[in-house]
């Protein structure tokens, strides 16, 4: 076991600055970058750091060891020391979202060890994640670089980047939902309480989201003095859950933007084209909303966004359109599955959305709702797209 590994397992109590921070600094200054995985640290100490990476090695980092070994009964004073140790590791460039040999992130381990989402240690990892994501965007000249899957290892840079998708996060490259073009030409199937791709059984929409859609429909009318005089837009029809809730409010005008031919056919079959207050915008929002914007006559009280196989970069593009379409008192909301594969990523993206909409003079307020009991067992779909038992519902409006 390396000296660093030993130190991070908290062999002596109480944890004091003298014992830990000083020694940690000393060890790191002697030349072991904390971005090294533990296997690499061990190799370094044995003078083998130039040898080829072991393909079997996990990405267990010193921060994982620290989070995994954290005593559940740590006192406030001890936690302050641990926070300092984390600061030191981050200063030396530690990554926030590596997955260890048990497929766990630092955030997962902290939560397991009693450090809740409001704890200083967990919040420190969130802060590191937000900084890393924003820095990465800067480095990429403003573009967000997405890899093929969440937590994929970017081996040449020794870093890991999360790929938040707006809905189904792609982990298997063969998921139909991973690519908008493929998705839009894939046959869909409405089954009991689900909309899935026919061949691959990728989940497009599921009725466990019903209560989220009800809440979202209410949110869209938040700024309107009279719902019956309001004009709202929903992007992505899916199973029409939110649109059904919107119709219950009988708004003056209800736009629905939908791109998939099978979904449009279902909308026709179910009479959505005949509803007097509904206008269907057929096609991708990237095409149809710009026309609406150019038209210059539509101003919206509420906009909801819930598509599939799009990335956070698409949401950034959408913000540009939204500010042109929404009334000053209007509200924007979206299905918030950004990074919902894992609590730590979900929290990082919660914050990133806040920062991004601030740039447009908008504010994002979240309501946290518990959804654990609603979550399905995911047996009939290829992969779960939501793994947190709570949901951050966003309400975005001008400040
Ligand atoms: C998850 S479903 C929406 C579910 C909906 N919120 C509900 O309550 O049932 C996503 C929908 O967005 C549609 N979609 C995907 N990409 C789109 C795009 N670029 N523009 C418009 N619609 C899109 C999909 O075809 C699908 O019907």
Q: Which of 3-17, 55-69, 154-168, 177-191 has the lowest mean pLDDT?
A: 154-168
Which atom from ligand 1 is nearest to the alpha carbon of 234?
Answer: 6
Lowest mean pLDDT among 37-46, 58-67, 93-102, 161-170: 161-170
Task: Give the position of tokens 């992505």.
Answer: 236
pLDDT (tens digit per residue) in 349-360: 999 999 999 999
State whether the beta carbon of 306 lies less than 6 angstroms from ligand 1: yes
Residue 371 in contact with residue 325, Cβ under 8 Å? no
Whether the predicted pLDDT of 390 surpasses 90: yes
Distance from the alpha carbon of residue 363 to the mean position of ligand 1, in angstroms: 25
* pLDDT at position 58: 81
CA of 308 to the centre of ligand 1 (A): 6
Does the CB atom of residue 204 touch ligand 1 within 6 A?
yes
Confidence check: pLDDT of 155 > 60:
no
Q: Is the CB of 240 under 6 A from ligand 1?
A: yes
Weakest-pLDDT range from 18-32, 60-74, 329-343 = 18-32
State yes or no: pLDDT of 50 exceeds 70: no
- Quote the ligand 1 centre to 238 CA distance (angstroms): 5
CB of 318 shorter than 6 A to ligand 1: no
Task: Name the one residue in this structure whose structure tokens are 């267990």.
Answer: 60
Would you say the CB of residue 8 lies under 6 angstroms from ligand 1? no
Residue 307 CA to ligand 1 center (angstroms) comes to 4
Residue, of 381 and 43, whose pLDDT is higher? 43
Spell out a b/e string for 154-171, using b for 16 or more CB atoms within 10 Å of the CB, else e. Answer: eeeebbbbbbbbbbbbbb
Q: Does ligand 1 have an atom closer than 6 angstroms to the CB of 227? A: no
307 lines ligand 1 (CB under 6 A): yes
Distance between CA atoms of residues 224 and 204, nearest Å: 30
Mean pLDDT score, 158-173: 45
Q: Which of 112-116, 135-139, 210-214, 262-266 has the lowest mean pLDDT?
A: 135-139
Average pLDDT, the chain: 88
Quickly state the pLDDT bin for 152 (edges 50, 70, 90): very low
pLDDT band at 331 (very low <50, low <70, confident <90, very high): very high
Nearest CA to ligand 1 atom 13: 236
Determine whether the shortest distance from the Cβ of 315 to ligand 1 is under 6 A: no
* Ligand 1 pocket test target in 308, 317, 318 with most atoms within 8 Å of CB: 308
Of 103-117, 129-143, 233-247, the one with minimum mean pLDDT is 129-143
CB 85 within 8 A of CB 24: yes
Ligand 1 pocket check for 285: Cβ under 6 Å? yes
- Evaluate if residue 8 carries a pLDDT over 50: yes
343-358 and 120-139 helices cross at what angle (nearest 10)?
Answer: 60
For residue 372, pLDDT over 50 is answered with: yes
pLDDT confidence of residue 146: 38
Nearest alpha carbon, ligand 1 atom 2: 238
The residues, ordered by sequence, that sit 6+ positions from 128 with a Cβ below 8 Å of its Cβ are 90, 94, 96
Which residue's CA is the nearest one to ligand 1's atom 9? 239
Domains (range + CATH), the chain: 3-161 (no CATH), 176-398 (3.40.50.150)
Angle between helices 62-69 and 76-91 in degrees, nearest 10: 170
pLDDT tens, position by position, 206-226:
998 999 999 999 999 999 999
- State residue 340's pLDDT score: 93
CA 189 to ligand 1 center in whole angstroms? 14
Ligand 1, from 191, 307, 318, 335: best to mutate by most atoms within 8 Å of Cβ?
Answer: 307
3-state secondary structure the chain: CCHHHHHHCCCCCCCCCCCCHHHHHHHHHCCCCCCCCHHHHHHHHCCCCCCCCCCCCCCCCHHHHHHHHCCCCCCHHHHHHHHHHHHHHHHCCCCCCCCCCCCCCHHHHHHHCCCCCCCHHHHHHHHHHHHHHHHHHHHCCCCCCCCCCCCEEEHHHCEEECCCECCCCCCCCCCHHHCHHHHHCCCEEEECCEEEECCCCCEEEEHHHHHHHHHHHHHHCCCCCCHHHCEEEEECCCCCHHHHHHHHCCCCEEEEEECCHHHHHHHHHCCHHHCCCEEEEECCHHHHHHHHHHHCCCCEEEEEECCCCCEHHHHHHHHHHHHHHEEEEEEEEECCCCCCCCHHHHHHHHHHHHHHHHCCCEEEEEEEEECCCCCCCCCCCCCCCCCCCEEEEEEEEEC
Q: What is the pLDDT of residue 200?
A: 87
Bridge partners (DSSP) listed for residue 334: 305
* pLDDT value of position 1: 64
In ligand 1, which atom is closest to the CA atom of 167?
Answer: 1
Mean pLDDT, rounded, for 139-147: 59
Mean pLDDT for the stretch of residues 274-281: 98
Q: Looking at the predicted structure, is the pLDDT value of residue 145 above 90?
A: no
Give the nearest ligand 1 atom to 242 CA. Answer: 8
Q: Higher pLDDT residue, 385 or 276?
A: 276
């Amino acid at each position: 076991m390396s000296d660093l590994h030993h130190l991070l397992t908290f062999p002596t109590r109480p944890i004091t600055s003298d014992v830990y921070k000083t020694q940690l600094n000393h060890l790191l200054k002697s030349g072991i970058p904390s971005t090294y995985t533990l296997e690499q640290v061990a190799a370094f100490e044995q003078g083998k750091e130039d040898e080829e990476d072991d393909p079997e090695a996990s990405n267990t980092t010193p921060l994982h060891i620290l989070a995994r070994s954290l005593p559940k009964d740590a006192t406030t004073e001890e936690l302050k020391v641990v926070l300092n140790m984390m600061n030191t590791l981050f200063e030396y460039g530690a990554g926030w979202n590596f997955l260890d040999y048990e497929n766990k992130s630092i955030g997962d381990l902290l939560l397991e060890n009693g450090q809740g989402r409001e704890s200083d240690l967990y919040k420190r990892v969130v802060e590191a994640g937000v900084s890393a994501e924003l820095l990465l965007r800067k480095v990429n000249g403003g573009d967000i670089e997405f890899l093929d899957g969440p937590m994929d290892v970017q081996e040449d840079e020794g870093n890991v980047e999360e790929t938040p998708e707006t809905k189904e996060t792609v982990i298997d490259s063969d998921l139909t939902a991973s690519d908008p073009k493929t998705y839009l030409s894939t046959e869909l199937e409405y089954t009991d309480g689900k909309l899935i791709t026919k061949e691959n059984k990728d989940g497009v929409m599921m009725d466990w989201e019903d209560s989220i859609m009800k809440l979202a429909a209410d949110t869209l009318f938040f700024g309107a003095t009279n719902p019956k005089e309001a004009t709202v837009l929903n992007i992505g029809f899916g199973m029409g859950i939110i649109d059904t809730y919107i119709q219950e409010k009988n708004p003056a005008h209800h736009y629905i933007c939908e791109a998939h031919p099978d979904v449009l056919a279902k909308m026709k079959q179910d009479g959505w084209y005949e509803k007097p207050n509904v206008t269907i915008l057929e096609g991708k929002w990237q095409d149809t909303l710009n026309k609406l914007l150019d038209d210059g006559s539509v101003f919206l009280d509420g906009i909801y966004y819930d598509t599939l196989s799009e990335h956070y970069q698409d949401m950034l593009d959408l913000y540009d359109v939204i500010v042109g379409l929404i009334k000053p008192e209007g509200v924007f909301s979206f299905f918030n599955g950004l990074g919902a594969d894992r609590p730590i990523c979900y929290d990082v993206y919660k914050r990133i959305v806040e920062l991004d909409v601030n740039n447009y003079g908008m504010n994002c307020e979240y309501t946290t709702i518990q959804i654990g009991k609603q979550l399905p067992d995911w047996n009939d779909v290829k992969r779960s797209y939501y793994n947190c038992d709570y949901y951050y519902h966003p309400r975005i409006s001008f400040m």
